[in-house]
Structures are given as structure tokens and as C-alpha cells.
Structure 1
Amino acid sequence: MSDEPDSLILKMLRGIRDDLARVDGKIDDTKNELKSEVADVRAELKSDIRSLRADVASDLLVTRKETSEQIVGLRRAVMEYHTSVIGHGVIISELEARVRRMEQHLKLPPLDTH
């Protein structure tokens, strides 16, 4: 370089260049920190999603099991009711036959079923 004294403008420009270099360094550091934080948040989110999927799958299995048990109970209740109704129907049919035989034996006129 020359032996001439530096001008004020050159000093200011060099200072600005140094300041810009520091700002660029800080921006790069901030960028790297943000990348790291985003990666951490992404990993945490993936973990939460996996956990949520497992919870939902477990809840669905429990719900399916409970529903199956309720269906089995309902079927049992319907079968018991059906058996009971058929049983009553048989008893009523037998009673009607006996009443008919008694009416015939006693020679009673049949009732009008109007």
C-alpha cells in the first residue's frame, strides 16, 4: 500500500465491512441454531404422533372388545327372550287345546271372536 494516510471514508468503509462480517457470522450462527431447533421439534413431533397413533389404536381395540361383548350380551338376551316367548306360545297353545277339549266335553258353544 501507499504511505498516504487513510482517509476517513476508507476507515468508515473498512469499519462497515468488519461490522457486516460480524453480522454475517451472527446470521450464520442463528441459522444453524434454528436448524437444530427445527430438527429437535420435528423429532419431538414425530414421537408425539407415534405415541398418539399407539393410543388411538389401543382405544380402538378396547372399543372393539367392549362392542363385541355388548353384542354377545344382546344376542344372549334376545335368545333368552325368544326362548321365553316361544315357551309361552307353546304353553298357551296347550291351554287352548285343553280349553277346546273341555268345551267339547261340556258341550259348550264356541265364543264369537269378533
Structure 2
Amino acid sequence: MSTEPENLVLQLLRDMRADMAGMRAEMATKADLADLRSEIGSLRADMASDFIDVRREIAGVRKDLGEQIVGLRRAVIEYHTSVVGHGVLISELEARLRRVEQHLDLPPLEAH
């Protein structure tokens, strides 16, 4: 005995119809696609808003960092000016001390 159906073509067509019905059940509808488009548009808007917020934050950080750098520069210049000024004063004092030592015929102090 054979297990083949009476009409092989008819059976194959029925199998194809069942497969297509399963595929149709899995396929997205126009409404599903419209919802997906709407969600993608919403996500785009959210991302654009987040991107703008991040750019503003970066601009704020840059501004703060720039102000800190300017303040640091100013502090370094003031310190350098002060140190150079002290160096000049010390050099002048050393020169005067040498002249006093020479005038009084004192031996110079040995460097420690």
C-alpha cells in the first residue's frame, strides 16, 4: 500500500496554503509599520533633544575650563612676577654685602 494521497498536486497546494497562512500571521501589518515609524520618529526626536543637551553641557564645561585656565595663568604670572622680584632683591642684597665686605676688608663667607 502506498501512503501517497490521491492527488499529489492537490496535497502540495494545500501544504503551500498552510505555509502561506503561517507566513501571513507572522507578517507585519500596515498598522504595525505605521506604529514602528511613529516610534522611530519619537526616538529620533528624543535623541536629537539629548544631543542638544549634551552639546550645551560640553559648552558649559569648556567655558568653566577656560575660566579656570585663565585664573591659573593669572596666578602663575603673579607668582612668577613675585618670585622674580624677590630674586632681584636678593641679588641686590648680595652685591651690597660683597661691597661692604670689600670695604671692611672682611673675608667672604664660604658657601654652605
* TM-score relative to the length of structure 2: 0.71
Q: Pick from 88, 92, 96: which aligns with 1:98?
A: 96
Alignment: residue pair count: 89
**Structure of higher CA gyration radius:** 1
Q: More relative contact order in 1 or in 2 (CA 8 Å, sep 6+)? A: 2
Unaligned runs of 5+ in 2: 1-20
Tell me the C-alpha RMSD between the 2 structures.
2.1
Instruction: Say whether 1:66 aligns with 2:81.
Output: no
In structure 2, C-alpha distance between the alignment counterparts of 1:72 and 1:56, rounded to whole Å: 24
In structure 1, C-alpha distance between the alignment counterparts of 2:107 and 2:76, rounded to whole Å: 40
Shift of 1:69: 0.6
In structure 2, C-alpha distance between the alignment counterparts of 1:88 and 1:72, rounded to whole Å: 24
Shift of 1:62: 0.6
Question: Percent identity, aligned pairs only?
Answer: 52
* TM-score relative to the length of structure 1: 0.70
Q: Deviations over 1:56-106 (max 9, x none)?
A: 111111111111111101110110110011000011011101111111122
User: Could you list the runs of 4 or more consecutive aligned residues of structure 1 that deviate by over 4 angstroms after TM superposition?
Assistant: none
Show the counterpart of 1:75.
Answer: 73
